[in-house]
Structure 1
Amino acid sequence: MNIYLKDDTVDSPCIGICSTLFDDVCRGCGRTILEVSNWVAMDATEKKKVWERITAEGTAMRFKDSI
């Protein structure tokens, strides 16, 4: 899975299916509410760590065969 954009910035794991209003972790992308709200302020290393965690967990909809 390529998480980098053309300019070497880290792509957002968002898939446009958000559930962060009533959940601690978004069911769509697997990020916590703090990770979602702070994404734009995170540096590439922090974003990569989030990607590593959500990929290892593999429970978010973005990792399922059908959405």
Structure 2
Amino acid sequence: MFTSNPSDDTPASGVPSEGAGGSAASAANRSLLPTDSPCVAICSTLYDDICRGCGRTAMEVANWVFLSDDEKRDIWVRIKAQGYPRR
């Protein structure tokens, strides 16, 4: 008989871990991430392609309204892991 031992895959940082195979708990936590814009109105891409306020690339900022919810969540996972958005 198969028994499951669910665990919370969310580390103290609040970013769901992406373990091998992706558990149901991690998928549920990932779905809780917002899909709204991470913009904090501190826009700066002066010397590179990454906004210093939200952590998105210039292309992600420009195309945000056209991205699917899954694409937006993927970006949120990445920028949260990198310490963005900075308020």
Where has structure 1 moved over 2 Å in runs of 4 or more?
1-4, 20-23
Rg larger for = 2
* 1:52 pairs with 2:54: no
**1:54 counterpart SS class:** helix
Cα-Cα RMSD: 2.0
Contact kept in structure 1, 2:44 and 2:52, CA below 8 Å: yes
**1:46 counterpart SS class:** helix
Residue ranges of structure 1 left out of the alignment (5+ in a row): 5-9
TM-score (norm 2): 0.56
TM-score (norm 1): 0.71
Higher helix share: 1
**Residues of 2 paired with 1:50 and 1:29: CA distance?**
10
Residue ranges of structure 2 left out of the alignment (5+ in a row): 1-13, 15-31
Aligned residues with identical type, % of pairs: 54
